[in-house]
Amino acid sequence: MCVCRRTSGADVSSTDVNRELSSAYRTILSVIDQIEPRIADATRAELTDQRESLKLIASENYASLPVLATMGTWFSDKYAEGTVGHRFYAGCQNVDTVESVATEHARELFGAEYAYAQPHSGIDANLTAFWAILAHRVEQPRLAEFGAKNVNDLSEADWETLRKEFGEQRLMGMSLDAGGHLTHGFRPNISGKMFHQRSYGTDPETQLLDYDKVREAVREFKPLVLVAGYSAYARRINFATMREIADEVGATLLVDMAHFAGLVAGKVFTGDEDPVPHAHVVTTTTHKSLRGPRGGLILATEEYAPSVDRGCPLVLGGPLSHVMAAKAVALAEARTPDFQAYARDVADNAKSLAEGLLSRGAKLVTGGTDNHLVLIDVNNFGLTGRQAESALLDAGVVTNRNAVPNDPNGAWYTSGVRIGTPALTSRGFGADEFDKVAELIVEVLQNTEPVTASTGKPGKAKYTLADGVADRVKAQSAELLDNHPLYPGLEL
């Protein structure tokens, strides 16, 4: 059993604030009731579901009510294409304030030279960053060579040459089954259609990144863009080494910290593990471990700033000013000592969860964790990821299936279940509670049997969960959840 430090719920658990906002939410929902009651009902039902489930999806969290409330304002109604002070629309002075405050917090929180708060999501942030890198590395030198100020000055023939060159560029990122993300150059995503792509994987034995192998792969492929970052790798990355590797071939190092931005903001990842001092460009979402509104953010060095700053109209249209406002509030929250305590708890809780799972016989990809997530290889329970995910959901435990390295069940059924600590840590769960969560997960997995398919082959989707297990696990989860209510004081 782990010795528990008191966890910080920070603003999510701020009972007084939540109580004060209750009447505002009640009023708003009663007004929506008059217009479209199904939406008011679904909104109430979503709160109940979120309150009553053991939310372990590694990419989800609970933003504070002030962050959520900031999104519900008239900033949504304002067009503001352009940048601070240089808009294509009149009357953007208040949006200028919002965007300036958001980027100021982002720069100071992460120690970045430049920040861009307009991307609507992580995928937008990556696409904007990729095109900004292409603009900086491919377009700018060509414009200078052709004596043009911008692309409109190019002759048809020079423009065709440049367009062809865009399509010849190379990108290298972590393979999907090692934990990389679809936006890192994979074919179903536009990044895979833009770039020639190759990936680096992990060591077949340890399942850890082997930097010598990454170096070898980079030397051979010589990408223009080297991407570091992941969605399902349970370990930290040495970004100083990744930068050295990028420099060897003149690649731009882009770090996608969408998953672990909260651990960077909370100073859990420092030195070589902090991407900001080492990468040319850093992208992130704001809604995962960073605990902000759903959105994206880009940080960059001075060198790349002018290209990223042209994200609109390069890739983006009008910014979501109401969401930028909420990003500013969330980033202000992330600059507090409470948030640093929260980030430490996220990582400590993941360790407790991993130890709890390992001690009860589960197998973890990479053998453990040193970030905010664990990836269970459910093959040794005789299950696919799909069966495990569904059985856990029957018992009120919300996770998601994920491929493991060289997954025998492919990307759809998978052999893994990914579990993260950011959301429940926001509710105040500590190491002891996560040990209990490990016990409940293993109880479900041990009591789930695959159902043989009608073809006689081992089934990949169907399963049976032994009688009584779901109810027993739900009752024990309810006890944990009741002790750590979501938005305490908020009554609709």
Residue 121 as a binder of ligand PLP (CB under 6 A): the answer is yes
Two tokens, residue 40: 């008011």
- Give burial (CB, 10 Å; 0-12/13-18/19+) of 491: exposed
Q: Is 79 a catalytic residue?
A: yes
- Compute the CA torsion angle 482, 486, 489, 491 (nearest 10 deg): -90
Reduce the DSSP state of residue 316 to 3 states and report it.
Answer: coil
- Only segment of 10-18, 120-128, 357-365, 367-375 that touches ligand PLP (CB under 6 A): 120-128
Query: Do residues 349 and 425 lie in contact, with contact meaning Cβ atoms separated by under 8 Å?
Result: yes
Closest separation in Å from C-beta 486 to ligand PLP: 22
CB of 20 to ligand PLP, least distance (A): 30
Query: 50: Cβ–Cβ under 8 A, 6 or more apart, which residues?
Result: 62, 486
The 3-state DSSP class for residue 46 equals: helix
Q: Which residues are annotated as a binding site?
A: 176, 180-182, 302
**Identified catalytic residue from 7, 70, 183, 285:** 285
Q: By CB under 6 A, is residue 264 in contact with ligand PLP?
A: no
The residue range among 109-117, 118-126, 164-172, 460-468 that interacts with ligand PLP, by the rule CB under 6 A, is 118-126
Query: Interface with ligand PLP by CB under 6 A: which range of 37-45, 119-127, 449-457, 484-492?
Result: 119-127
Determine, following the binding rule CB under 6 A, whether residue 401 of this chain makes contact with ligand PLP. Answer: no
Nearest to ligand PLP of 57, 341 (CB atom): 57
Classify 207 as helix, strand or coil: coil
Minimum distance between the CB of residue 120 and ligand PLP, rounded to whole angstroms?
8
420 binds ligand PLP (CB under 6 A): no
Q: How far is the CB of 58 from ligand PLP (least distance, A)?
A: 9
Query: Which DSSP symbol is given to 137?
Result: I
Stretch that binds ligand PLP, among 191-199, 256-264, 436-444, 453-461 (CB under 6 A): 256-264
User: Within a 13 Å sphere around the CA of 177, how many CA atoms are in the beta-carbon half?
Assistant: 17
C-beta closer to ligand PLP: residue 259 or 436: 259
Residue of 277, 282, 324 lying closest to 300 (CA atoms) = 282
Residue 345 and residue 156: Cα distance in Å, rounded? Answer: 57
80 binds ligand PLP (CB under 6 A): no
Strands (E), 123-267: 170-174, 196-200, 225-229, 252-256
Regarding 307 and contact with ligand PLP (CB under 6 A), the answer is no
Size of the site for ligand PLP (CB under 6 A): 13
> Which residue is associated with the tokens 């223009």?
224
| 59 forms part of the interface with ligand PLP (CB under 6 A) | yes
Active-site residue flag, 25: no
- Which helix (H) or strand (E) segment holds residue 120: the answer is none
Q: Shortest Cβ distance from residue 52 to ligand PLP (Å)?
A: 24
Q: Report d(CA 54, CA 478) in Å as an integer.
A: 8
- Tell me how crowded residue 281 is: count the other CB atoms within 10 A of its CB: 31
Q: Using CA atoms, how far apart are residues 267 and 346, in angstroms rounded to an integer?
A: 12
CB within 8 Å of 343: residues ≥ 6 apart: 262, 263, 265, 266, 267, 268, 289
Alpha-carbon distance 359 to 406, whole Å? Answer: 25
* CB of residue 59 to ligand PLP, shortest distance in Å: 5
Whether 291 and 61 have beta carbons less than 8 Å apart is answered as yes
Nearer residue to ligand PLP within complex by CB, 83 or 126: 126
Choices 189-197, 244-252, 253-261, 477-485 (CB under 6 A): range interacting with ligand PLP: 253-261
Q: Which is nearer to ligand PLP, 285 or 387 (CB)?
A: 285
Residues 227-246 within binding reach of ligand PLP (CB under 6 A): 229, 231
400 is an interface residue for ligand PLP by CB under 6 A: no
Residue 81 bears catalytic tag: yes
Residue 256 annotated as catalytic = yes
Q: Phi first, then psi: what are they for 350, rounded to 5°? A: -65, -40
**Distance from the first to the final alpha carbon of the chain:** 37
Write down the least CB distance from residue 239 to ligand PLP, Å.
15
- Percentages helix, strand, coil for the chain, rounded to the nearest 5? 50, 15, 35
CB of 19 within 8 A of CB of 490? yes
Q: Based on the shown chain and the rule CB under 6 A, indicate whether residue 122 belongs to the binding site for ligand PLP.
A: yes
Q: Which of 256, 273, 389, 407 binds ligand PLP (CB under 6 A)?
A: 256
Q: Which residue from 127, 258, 330, 350 is in contact with ligand PLP, where contact means CB under 6 A?
A: 258
* Nearest residue to ligand PLP, scored by beta-carbon proximity: 122
Of the candidates 99, 139, 177, 256, the residue annotated as catalytic is: 256
- Residue 54 touching ligand PLP (CB under 6 A): no
Annotated binding site for (6S)-5,6,7,8-tetrahydrofolate: 176, 180-182, 302
| CA separation, residue 171 to residues 174, 186, 250, 447, 468 (Å) | 10, 10, 12, 44, 50
- Helix then strand count (H, E) for the chain reads 20, 17
Please report how close the Cβ of residue 393 comes to ligand PLP at its closest, in angstroms: 19
Under rule CB under 6 A, residue 285 binds ligand PLP: yes
Q: Considering only residues 181, 327, 344, 474, which one is a binding residue for ligand PLP as defined by CB under 6 A?
A: 181
Binding site for ligand PLP (CB under 6 A): 59, 121-123, 126, 181, 183, 229, 231, 256, 258-259, 285
Positions marked catalytic: 79, 81, 256, 285, 288, 294
